[in-house]
Chains A and B, each alone.
Chain A
Amino acid sequence: MENAVIDAHNISKTYDPSGIPVPAIRNVHMHIAKGEFVALVGPSGSGKTTLLNMIGGLDHPDSGNIIVNGTDITTLRSNDLVKFRLHNIGFVFQAFNLIPVLTAKENAEFIMLLQKEKKAKRDERIDLLFKQVGLLDKKNIRPAQLSGGQQQRVAVARALASKPQFVLADEPTANLDSASAFNLLDMMAKLNSEETMTFIFSTHDQRVIERAKRVITLVDGQIVSDATPLQY
């Protein structure tokens, strides 16, 4: 598909944790274009996180291909996948996953440091992002002194710092109260439109689903609908 950031062809994944095969993803086809704001929804065990992990190069499909910006990531070797993730994908996790011994700013610039970006460029980018996420005055404090919502905003800043091709967010509002969740969604929607950043997030949260521009529903590892929130 033209302009596709992500093009998944017929991907399947089966887990076999105790000798009994459990299909997690079955023959999924999916195309996501640049600048989309996509929610992956479905009940627990429907395969949302597995699909995100495979799109993010953290997990391998048993069959099928995942092409990201023209690169088939299913053929990449382990070290190349690490580099690919570093330069192309931003991750936001449910549990924030900030490094507790680093300040908010240091957490946010972590990926840029791995990319060996110059200090001036890092400072400029982090200041801009912290301004966008509303934490400019808190950039030098450690995560333990921030609220859950603030920590998740730092995590979003970290995901966006290196200007990735797309951001994968696994249930980003699951640990947040309503006010924090709305703030985060507003901020992500704003970044989506201002930076033309592609967001793909798995969620159960109806508040998130309502903000999405496209909702993909998974049941038992298969896409059962692909629609706008109003159609969902």
Chain B
Amino acid sequence: MIVRLAWRNIWRNKMRSMVIIASVTAGLFAGMAIMALYKGMMKSRIRTVIDTETGHIQLHAKDFLGDLDPTLFIQGDEKMIATLSADKSIKAFAKRTITAGMVSTPNGSSGVSIIGISPQEEMNVSGLGKKMRQGKLDWPAKTRGILMGKKLAKKLKIAVGEKVVITMTDTADNLISAAYRVQGIYQSANAPLDEVNVYLSRKDLQDMLGLGNQVHEIAVTLHDDTLLHSTVTRLAHQFPFLAVESWKTLSPETSLMAETVDTLSYIILVIILIALSFGIMNTMMMSILERRHEIGMMMALGMGRIPLLMLIMTETFFLTITGIPIALATGTIAIEHYAKKGMDLSGMGKEMMESFGFETMIYPDFPSDKIGFIIALVFATALASSIVPIVKSLRMDPVSALQK
């Protein structure tokens, strides 16, 4: 009876109930859309980090990443290469020689990370070739070529084919310089990195640093993201003399951002629901005051506190949860649509998003893992919204209510 009476009561004033149900639906839809967008943005950012910046895992000599000391190269890399090649979790790996240096042009100079790479290996690990905007990811045999980011090229006012001078310290602490011709200009989704990373032929850099065939970094990509933890553990066990680090350690800001954005999306949803709870509470209060006489009559007839509490609470729940299936259905359709088509956010500020390392085409991801939590939050909202109306109705005196 309580359920039947509660359901019919909320439809006494159809317009008022429809407005509040529509508000809950819109609020939930907005909350889900924000969660999906944030999840899509973070997945995109993490994908960018793994696919184009760090790979899944990197191996270095211990302490190398502290100040890029060129003498801290990886020892015994041939045996290591064989081990990595045989590992079934590993999809590809790229060996890199890295040092800190400076790029100078007649227009200025800039501190950079100079990275010696093999084009073929990079294609498989970082997809550098796909980021080329001018020129090619290739080094003609007798030409010293350098690849630099679009942002750095713009800063130094340099174009493809023009010369730059790079300066660095070799493994014997000698300051060395060499002239290079800009072979190509790349642009990634991470503008800050584009300003500091320049690429040379690994062989050239090894020769300049006096390293022979030694490398400073091995970047590894895996067949599946879920293999990350187990592979890091296994490699750390196999190569105890090396620092074996996942992208989460190498790019802590991304890992932190993912957690922060997750929390932020919950906070936004909670704020939306708190705002809605006032509307729901107001509607219930109006409903109760309008039915004051009727509630007094029911109390006079022998309706106790518990059934009355259940009636008011059930009405509040109906008002609140009726919007859930509508919001879930419309939210799923909209999110699935944009998950396939993509949502172009370049209009919101392409440069700003790239400066934070985000792609501007976002593919929202339906937060299916959070649906249970969202529904629990909505139920909590209904419960919270019903408290004041319940207290108000329980405090009614049947005699005075019947006189109204």
Q: Which residues of A contact B (CB under 8 A)?
A: 53, 56, 58-59, 79, 82-83, 85-87, 89, 91, 93, 95, 97, 99-102, 106, 110-111, 113-114, 158
Q: What's the count of A-B pairs with C-beta under 8 Å?
A: 60
Which of A83, A89, A101, A158 lies in contact with B9, CB distance below 8 A? A101
Convert B284-328 into 0s and 1s, putting 1 for each residue whose CB lies closer than 8 angstroms to a CB of A. 000000000110011111111101000000000000000000000
Indicate if B341 sits at the interface (CB-CB under 8 A): no
Q: 6 extra interchain contacts, Cβ-Cβ under 8 A, other than A53-B399, A95-B293?
A: A86-B304, A87-B302, A101-B9, A111-B301, A113-B1, A114-B301
Between A82, A110, A158, the greatest number of chain B beta carbons within 10 A of the residue's beta carbon is seen for: A82
Q: Which residues of B contact A (CB under 8 A)?
A: 1, 4-5, 8-9, 11-12, 293-294, 297-305, 307, 398-399, 402
Which of B8, B304, B399 lies in contact with A82, CB distance below 8 A? B304
Q: Are A82 and B9 in contact (CB under 8 A)?
A: no
Alpha-carbon separation in the docked complex, A181 to B199 (Å): 102
Name the CB-closest residue of B to A102.
B5
Which of A56, A79, A83, A106 lies in contact with B300, CB distance below 8 A? A56
B393 to chain A, nearest CB (A): 14
Alpha-carbon separation in the docked complex, A64 to B97 (Å): 101
Alpha-carbon separation in the docked complex, A83 to B305 (Å): 11
Which of A59, A82, A85, A101 lies in contact with B12, CB distance below 8 A? A101
Which of B9, B11, B302, B307 lies in contact with A85, CB distance below 8 A? B302
Alpha-carbon separation in the docked complex, A95 to B404 (Å): 11
Alpha-carbon separation in the docked complex, A102 to B304 (Å): 19
Which of B294, B307, B399 lies in contact with A114, CB distance below 8 A? B307
B69 to chain A, nearest CB (A): 80
Alpha-carbon separation in the docked complex, A102 to B7 (Å): 11
Q: Are A86 and B9 in contact (CB under 8 A)?
A: no
Which of A59, A82, A106, A113 lies in contact with B299, CB distance below 8 A? A82
Name the CB-closest residue of A to B297.
A97
Alpha-carbon separation in the docked complex, A158 to B302 (Å): 12
B403 to chain A, nearest CB (A): 9
Query: What are 17 A-B interface contacts by the 8 Å CB criterion?
Result: A53-B399, A56-B300, A58-B402, A82-B302, A82-B303, A82-B304, A83-B304, A85-B300, A86-B302, A86-B304, A93-B297, A97-B293, A97-B297, A100-B12, A110-B298, A111-B301, A158-B301
Q: Are A58 and B300 in contact (CB under 8 A)?
A: yes
Name the CB-closest residue of A to B7.
A101
Alpha-carbon separation in the docked complex, A120 to B9 (Å): 26
Alpha-carbon separation in the docked complex, A89 to B300 (Å): 10
Alpha-carbon separation in the docked complex, A209 to B399 (Å): 25
Q: Are B9 and A114 in contact (CB under 8 A)?
A: no
Which of B1, B301, B398 lies in contact with A86, CB distance below 8 A? B301
Between B293, B300, B301, B305, the greatest number of chain A beta carbons within 10 A of the residue's beta carbon is seen for: B301
Q: Are A114 and B300 in contact (CB under 8 A)?
A: no
B218 to chain A, nearest CB (A): 73
Alpha-carbon separation in the docked complex, A79 to B399 (Å): 16
Q: Are B8 and A110 in contact (CB under 8 A)?
A: no
Q: Which residues of B contact A97 (CB under 8 A)?
A: 293-294, 297, 402
* CB within 8 Å for A58 and B301 given contacts A101-B9, A102-B5, A102-B8: no
Q: Which residues of B contact A95 (CB under 8 A)?
A: 293
Name the CB-closest residue of B to A95.
B293
Name the CB-closest residue of A to B8.
A101
Q: Which residues of B contact A91 (CB under 8 A)?
A: 297, 300-301
Q: Which residues of B contact A86 (CB under 8 A)?
A: 301-304
Q: Which residues of B contact A110 (CB under 8 A)?
A: 1, 298, 301
Q: Which residues of A contact B304 (CB under 8 A)?
A: 79, 82-83, 86, 114
Q: Which residues of A contact B5 (CB under 8 A)?
A: 99, 101-102
Q: Which residues of B contact A101 (CB under 8 A)?
A: 5, 8-9, 11-12
Q: Are A114 and B8 in contact (CB under 8 A)?
A: no
Between A59, A85, A111, the greatest number of chain B beta carbons within 10 A of the residue's beta carbon is seen for: A85
Which of A58, A83, A158 lies in contact with B399, CB distance below 8 A? A58
Q: Which residues of B contact A100 (CB under 8 A)?
A: 12
Q: Are B294 and A99 in contact (CB under 8 A)?
A: yes
Name the CB-closest residue of B to A50.
B399
Alpha-carbon separation in the docked complex, A114 to B297 (Å): 14
